Amino acid sequence: MTQDEPSYCGISTLVMVLNALEVDPGRVWKSPWRFYHESMLDCCVPLDDIKKTGITLSQFACLAECNKLYTEVKYANSKSEFLNILRENVKQCMAIDDTILVVSYNRQVLGQTGAGHFSPLGAYHEESDQILIMDVARFKYPPHWVPLTILRDAMLSIDTTTGKPRGYLILKLRSHVQQLALLRLQGDISAYKTLFAPRLKEWEQFLAEEALSNQELEFETVCAVFTAIFMGYIVFHDFSEAYQIMQAEGKCHNNCSDMQLMKQANSCGHICRKILSLDTASYITSTGVCVLLLAWPLQETSSERVRILKRRLENDLSKLDEKSLEKIMTIRHQIEQISNTCKNDIVES
């Protein structure tokens, strides 16, 4: 494939990976094909922003995690240990079918036009210590071989957006993947600059205020304020109702689609029960808002209000099973990326 836009190298690379791993996007691209397309990757960064500036390594990881992939991010450094680990990771990824290695590097170090770029790796030639870059900008460069040491040097280039070096990601399909995200932020996040940013600022100002002396009243107040600010920013996909309707109408069959819906309904019910059993759920009636608060990334701060809230939420999170906690952490990663983008826009304006 080739990228649709000059700055789409990151999401085009992810699309290539998702389709290669046969991940079901949960929706039809063009009937009857269910393939990923760049336009579907809108959960962490607005596509309009990606079209202008591309994405960073952490944003790539966020998008990958939101679309059912396990991710491991490695930032480059000049030590020989990093090069040795990179070489071993390349060998391992080339030897198995369910894991793909994606690199983020500076084209100029390779003597190419352009700057920061993402592409997946397709092969490794051990004798010459070269890797095959499957360039997603096919209109510029076909797949080409590059010495691993030169690629490492290209990764050392600093990304001006983050102030960090570039690097690589190891991507793998999760072992207990579900076909659709049961929990996620609103899909239309392109409106976040006008809607989400002021709410984020309001919430942070509230957290900076002095906490109430009565801790129960304090937590009740925090939950009420959070609900008032962020109601409607979380989507909880409840598949159980759809499955029950199909059962009642006698439309359920033993095909893949119906089996998938049944699994989704069971999984949704399981997570709902887990969330509703937590202490936080007794203060917030909306399951979606409760999930959003549990997922909220609270930074270390001198605020007593934040410290009290963090203790309460961590106590609840410790009661969740691995699958439910994984969903919460995926949303936390989304919030971090969107919040950082909002803050950057406020600084620039």
pLDDT tens digits, residue range 40-52? Answer: 777 777 777 788 8
Residues 6+ apart with CB under 8 A from 185: 43, 233, 234, 235, 331, 334, 335, 338
Higher pLDDT, 24 or 243: 24
Least confident interval from 5-9, 37-41, 141-145, 260-264: 260-264
Question: Biggest alpha carbon distance in the chain?
Answer: 69
Known active-site residue 117: yes
Residue 144, pLDDT > 80, answer yes
Least confident of 79-83, 171-175, 229-233: 229-233
Would you tell me how many other CB atoms lie within 10 Å of the CB of residue 166? 22
Higher pLDDT, 186 or 317: 317
Q: What structural domains does the chain harbor?
A: 9-173 (3.90.70.30), 183-348 (no CATH)
The mean of the pLDDT values for the chain is: 79
50's tokens: 């990606």
Per DSSP, helices labelled H in 231-303 are 240-248, 256-276, 287-295
Report residue 73 CA to chain centroid gap: 12
Please answer whether residues 85 and 74 qualify as being in contact, where contact means their C-beta atoms are separated by less than 8 angstroms. Answer: yes
What local confidence, expressed as pLDDT, does residue 161 receive? 87
Identify the residue with better confidence: 78 or 31.
78
Given the residues 135, 223, 268, 342, the one annotated as active site = 135
Structure confidence at residue 11 as a pLDDT band (50, 70, 90): confident
Give the pLDDT of residue 88: 96
Secondary structure class of 61 (helix, strand, coil): helix
> Residue 178: its pLDDT value, please?
45
| pLDDT band, very low/low/confident/very high, at 233 (cuts 50, 70, 90) | low
Radius of gyration of the chain (CA): 22
For residue 143, give every residue at least 6 positions away whose Cβ sits within 8 Å of its Cβ, in sequence order, or none: 122, 132, 133, 134, 135
> CA–CA distance from 126 to each of 33, 147, 296, 338 (Å)?
37, 10, 45, 41
Alpha-carbon distance of 71 to 113, in angstroms, equals: 29
Ranking 206-210, 254-258, 320-324 by mean pLDDT, the lowest is: 254-258
Please give the pLDDT value at position 108. Answer: 92
Pairwise pLDDT comparison (268 vs 68), residue with the higher score? 68
Residues 36/28, Cβ–Cβ less than 8 Å: no
Which residue among 43, 66, 117, 272 is the active-site one? 117
9 tagged catalytic: yes
Using the structure block, give the residue that is written with the tokens 């934040």. Answer: 306
> For residue range 280-321, what is the model confidence (pLDDT) as tens digits?
999 998 888 888 899 999 988 889 999 999 999 999 999 998
pLDDT digits (tens, 9 = 90+) for 82-119: 999 999 999 999 988 889 999 999 999 998 888 899 99
User: Are 349 and 201 a contacting pair, CB within 8 Å?
Assistant: no
Q: What is the pLDDT of residue 150?
A: 96
Q: Please give the angle made by the CA atoms of 121, 122 and 127, to the nearest 5 degrees.
A: 95
